[in-house]
Copies of this chain bind each other. A is one copy, B any other.
């Protein structure tokens, strides 16, 4: 994790901009911003607290507003759009990709949204409304409509002349799509094929008819998995009659892949994927407080369990000193299993065919690691507290809790998935509750029974 050159540069720019802002040198800041790539300006906004963003935004060249907005994460984008007049937002959206524009519009208040649509020409409006008609996070919502289509019966030479007349192609174009009169997708021709094929061949001769088509209602996560697995750069999207609707390009998929991969980590800490690190304090406090409340309930539940053994604790304070060790180790072991299973499920590795094997494996790992650390903790306690019996009890509790942690780490996410609960979000809380309760019962319960 050494600081990279790229990050150094951003941080340097950030410092420069910050000190220029502090000393009121707005013209200087404007000049710095003009020299930067829009995606670097976006990074600058992501790295700036909300207040600073408002001032900075005034200094950005309005021609670049659209490009910068496209690169921002959900939360930051929203906070900036709230600062802008609807007409300015409408102006900024000119020339945006359909999918980015639709995505932007989804987040806007109704009045702004309608004003922007009203200012577009009929064709653009039609395209955006089509994109908006697909549910969020499906192929239809992330596709672009900027496909170049061909008929099968023309020759490569004719197409090359047509493209020369056209003069340019949409970004990330690697394939042109071949459609019939009803716009049904027949196949695709790569640019590579166009430049290497015999000019007198027809498109029908050289097109690839076996390429996969993405149904418009496929979930974006699944689209991303297919891109990743088959190393695509773009892929065509079709409706249920096979009519070409648009295409999805790798740059949009890369964002989905990162978000998907980040989703589990953020959810496990009870955070929103798009959480803005530099959001205002009150907004962040509100978002996190629910999660803390839920966790307070689990902490109280553990307290209620130990409360059952209050008499035991009163008679042997040593047990109070030691009682946190077993639940803590169970929580760690369980989290390891849980994390592995959540990742395995996201990658599509875990299902009915192998979950029982995995349950056995993780329980066995719990048993083996339990044995190792049970013996060690028994020895430590026997020496420290000069009491072999307490050592034996803590070793027993450790063993039980570690096996239970391994098994729970597999079963909890599988059960949650079946109940349509996100295991990355809720799994950890349930797991810790189990390892706390089992650990305390095993330790304090057996201690009460054997030692008093």
- Chain A contacts to B: CB under 8 angstroms: 1-7, 10-11, 14-15, 18, 37, 39-40, 43, 46-49, 71, 160, 163-164, 166-169, 171-174, 191-192, 194-199, 218-219, 221-222, 225-231, 233, 250-251, 253-255, 257-258, 261-262, 264-266, 268-271, 275, 277-278, 281-282, 284-285, 288-289, 291-293, 295-296, 298-300, 302-303, 306-307, 310-311, 313-314, 317-318, 320-325, 327-329, 332-333, 335-336, 338-341, 343-354, 357-358, 361, 364-365, 368-369, 372-373, 376-377, 380, 417, 420, 422-424
- Interface CB pairs A-B, < 8 A, 16: A14-B351, A43-B229, A49-B354, A168-B196, A171-B231, A191-B191, A227-B254, A264-B265, A275-B340, A277-B343, A293-B373, A295-B328, A302-B328, A313-B313, A314-B314, A320-B323
Known: A196-B166, A292-B373. A299 touches B324 (CB 8 A): yes
- In the bound complex, CA of A332 to CA of B271 (Å): 11
Across the interface, do B258 and A289 meet the contact criterion of CB distance under 8 Å? no
The docked-state distance in angstroms from the alpha carbon of A260 to that of B423 is: 21
Contact A15 B343 (CB under 8 A): no
A285 touches which of B350, B365, B423 (Cβ 8 Å): B365
Bound Cα distance from A264 to B423, whole angstroms: 18
A228 touches B258 (CB 8 A): yes
- Nearest B residue (CB) for A215: B5
Extra pairs beyond A1-B417, A47-B351, A299-B324 (7, CB < 8 Å): A1-B423, A14-B354, A49-B357, A258-B258, A270-B336, A277-B343, A277-B344
A198 to chain B, nearest CB (A): 7
- Interface on chain A toward B: helix, strand, loop, or mixed SS? helix
Q: With A288-B369, A352-B11 in contact, do A39 and B1 touch (Cβ < 8 Å)?
A: no
On chain B, the residues within 8 Å of A313 by CB distance are: 313, 317, 320-321
Known: A15-B352, A350-B277, A372-B289. Is A195-B160 also a contact (CB below 8 A)? yes
With both beta carbons as reference points, the residue of chain B lying nearest to A351 in the complex is identified as: B11
What residues of B have a CB within 8 angstroms of the CB of A281 in the complex? Answer: 361, 364-365, 368
Bound-complex Cα distance A129 to B253 (A)? 33
A271: contacting residue among B3, B40, B47, B336, CB under 8 A: B336
B336 near A300: Cβ-Cβ < 8 Å: no
Residues on the B chain within 8 Å of A250, using CB: 233, 250, 254
Whether A172 lies near B233 (C-beta < 8 A) is yes
A298: B residues at CB distance < 8 A: 328
Contact assessment for A321 and B336 in the assembled complex, using a CB-CB cutoff below 8 Å: no
* A-B interface, 9 closest residue pairs, ranked by CB to CB distance from nearest: A261-B261, A320-B320, A11-B351, A314-B317, A265-B265, A231-B251, A269-B339, A191-B191, A7-B348
Contact B278 A354 (CB under 8 A): yes
Which of B196, B306, B333, B372 touches A169 (beta carbons < 8 Å)?
A: B196
Most chain B Cβ neighbours within 10 Å, of A2, A225, A261? A261
Closest to A320 in B: B320
Task: Tell which of B5, B11, B341, B424 touches A353, judged by Cβ atoms closer than 8 Å.
Answer: B11
Residues of B within 8 Å of A282, CB to CB, are 368
B336 touches A47 (CB 8 A): no
For A310, give its contact among B233, B292, B321, B338 (CB under 8 Å).
Answer: B321
A317 to B323: give the CA distance in the assembly, Å. 13
Cβ contacts under 8 Å, A39 to chain B: 229-230
A163:B196 contact, CB within 8 angstroms:
yes
Known: A164-B195, A269-B335, A296-B325. A420 touches B2 (CB 8 A): yes
A330 to B422, CA, bound (A): 24
Minimum CB–CB distance for A321 against chain B, Å: 5
Contacts of A302 in B (CB 8 A): 324-325, 328
**Given A168-B192, A196-B168, CB of A328 within 8 Å of CB of B299:** yes
Enumerate chain B residues within 8 angstroms of A321, measured Cβ to Cβ. 303, 306-307, 310, 313
Name the one of B46, B164, B295, B369 contacting A292, with C-beta atoms under 8 angstroms: B369
| With A168-B196, A231-B172, A336-B269: A324-B306 Cβ-Cβ less than 8 Å | yes
